[in-house]
Amino acid sequence: MKQKRQGKHKGRQLDAVALLEVQELLDDMPRRKDLLIEALHLIQDEYHYLSAEHLVALAHEMKLSPAEVYEVATFYHHFDVIKESNAEGNVQAPPPPITVRVCDSITCEMSGAKELSDSLKKQSLTVQGSGEQVRIQAVPCVGRCQHAPVAVVGKNPVDYASPELVRQKVEQKALIPEIPQYIGFNQYRSSGGYSLFQDCLSGKRDPEEVINELKNSGLRGLGGAGFPAGTKWEIVKKFPAPRLLAVNIDEGEPGTFKDRYFLETDPHRFLEGCLISAWAVGLDEIYLYLRDEYAAGHQILLKEIKVLENFFKDKICRIHLRRGAGAYICGEESAMIESIEGKRGIPRLRPPYVAEVGLFGRPTLEHNMETLHWVRDIIEKGAESFSSNGRRGRKGLRAFSVSGRVNKPGVHLAPAGISMRELIDEYCDGILPGHTFYGYLPGGASGGILPASLGDVPLDFDTLQEYGCFIGSAAVIVFSDQDAARDLALNAMRFFEHESCGQCTPCRSGTAKAIPLMQNNKWDQSLLEELSRTMEDASICGLGQAAPNPLRSVIKYFPQEV
């Protein structure tokens, strides 16, 4: 008969001081697993890193195993988890109190991000008062491509960043972003805001009438997939209650920033769209999933949701605001739902689809923020007010995020079906002086690359597939004869390798294997195509399936470079 082992339990023991610190941070937050990532944010915000003591204390407080907490914390890039030992067996030192993140994605790299990062590292910036070294990190797209190059000091973005501007922010310890001027609740209501929603509540509008108007407008999902919005409302409504709404504001595609623009200028327009969809479809709760890089938007939503709930009180359903933590994969709808539930953002196998089995196992209406932004206008003004826009037989309006070698980058509201040349000439004031239009990415890093010779192709859903590309979220990056398409494709592949969730081998290993092949002076085209086909056919989600698009485009349209 074996004797029962005496002594301490295996694993790290609960630290009383760390437990008290965690309890004070969580305060009255419910101890539910779906709030795990929010709890991790509170610790990270307070201490700038996640210690083993705090993770064990958080696990104890939320009645989870330390392994569950650790696997979630280490999945997301924005959490600095301090490991007890590194490869040499030494205890890992906490990061300094200030981190400067320099965006190294496509547009910022074109605008000198690498030189900015190298210069900052040479300067050896220190924190005033403590003398600690400032950490310089290269990070993926931060959603401010029209202001490239961009650095972020703490949570404070520095547009058109230079070493001098960044040093100034560090010396001032300016770690919190300024809140931009935006249309608040009172101003929004004074211009007719929420009148439509109140008409819905009072019975002046009929749910079926609203859904039909949305269908007739031709509005499609503007996060990238392009599924007809009204049809999606109909589908979700057929499933048994309770039903939920999950709003995707985690636009991590390099080149896109339209959702941030709408959020930082007119947040109530999409919030009214949320409430109208909840009324029409019969939704019980609303979850907003916001990318962590949008710190100013987070403060705006915290304030405006509170005002909204105080005004409508029990007439509206509960609105939950959740932050992402630096994971591009969570822009995929099922990975976002996993993250909202407090888990790693791993895409689900489908079927079942989220419309039937989504958030917390309930039927879920999932929408991109811009899609909901258009709901009020379409219902108030009629379907034709939206569908009558468009060129070359296309219908509707698109918010194009345009960056790169143009005189006027930014969010440009243009007709669906506009061509790249028209977008550049009519909305972006032409190509930069000294540059010649050479090519463009019509849908961010994953949408492929097209040459200037195809600059007259209509930009919309379903118009680019024959060229091996897609429009996605309309993240347009324009490059010139001073850029190399192969360099942009390599940048995109590095992004996909960094952001792969690691769940499936074709994506995890395929992106990593492609990078050294693309760094060769002469590409092994047959091997790259074999690798691309495997990633496209066997990856679980769109990240791995779309990752080969840029390299294939270079081989097809820029053969002189490879």
Task: List pLDDT tens digits, range 270-317.
Answer: 999 999 999 999 999 999 999 999 999 999 999 999 999 999 999 999
pLDDT at 484: 98
Residue pair 431/405 in contact (Cβ under 8 Å)? The answer is yes
pLDDT confidence band for 525 (50 / 70 / 90): very high
Asked whether 105 and 141 are in contact (CB, 8 A), the reply is: yes
Reported confidence tier of residue 327, pLDDT bands at 50, 70, 90: very high
Q: How wide is the angle at C-alpha 230 spanned by C-alphas 182 and 346, nearest 5°? A: 75
Instruction: Say if residue 504's pLDDT is above 70.
Output: yes
Q: Report the share of the chain in percent with pLDDT over 90.
A: 93
Whether the pLDDT of residue 1 is over 50: the answer is no
For the domain made up of 12-94, give the CATH fold.
Arc Repressor Mutant, subunit A (1.10.10)
Q: What are the Cα distances from residue 147, in Å, to 143, 259, 324, 406, 484?
A: 9, 15, 23, 12, 21
Residue range 99-172, CATH number:
3.40.30.10
Mean pLDDT of the chain: 95
Q: What is the value of pTM for the model shown?
A: 0.95
Q: Is the pLDDT of residue 133 over 80?
A: yes
As separate numbers, helices (DSSP H) first and strands (DSSP E) second, the chain gives 24, 13
Mean pLDDT for 388-403 is 96
Within this chain, domains 12-94 and 397-561 share the same CATH topology: no
239 contacts 355 by C-beta, under 8 angstroms: yes
- The predicted model gives 93-120 an average pLDDT of 96
**Interval 211-263: pLDDT, tens:** 999 999 999 999 988 999 999 999 999 999 999 999 999 999 999 999 999 99
Q: Which two tokens stand for residue 146?
A: 């029209």
CA 192 → CA 199, 206, 269, 427, 501, distances in Å?
A: 12, 19, 11, 29, 44
pLDDT at 91 over 80: no
- The reported pLDDT for the residue numbered 88 is 63
Taking each helix axis from N to C terminus, what angle separates 505-519 and 485-499, rounded to the nearest 10 degrees? Answer: 150
Report the alpha-carbon angle 188-324-370, nearest 5. Answer: 40
Nearest to 223, CA basis, from 259, 194, 188:
259
Phi-psi label, residue 192: left if phi above 0, alpha if psi -120 to 50, beta otherwise: left
The CATH architecture one would assign to domain 185-381 is 3-Layer(aba) Sandwich (3.40)
pLDDT band at 127 (very low <50, low <70, confident <90, very high): confident
Could you say which architecture CATH assigns to the domain 397-561? Roll (3.10)
Quick one: average pLDDT of 375-394?
96
Q: What is the pLDDT of residue 10?
A: 63
Helix axes 295-312, 267-281, angle to 10 degrees: 50
Q: What residue ranges do the domains of the chain occupy?
A: 12-94, 99-172, 185-381, 397-561
Mapping DSSP onto H, E and C, the string for 101-147 reads: EEECCHHHHHCCHHHHHHHHHHHCCECCCCCCECEEEEECCCCCHHH
Confidence of residue 156 (pLDDT cuts 50, 70, 90): very high
178-to-123, 157, 310, 400 alpha-carbon distances in Å: 26, 9, 25, 25
211 vs 12, residue with greater confidence: 211
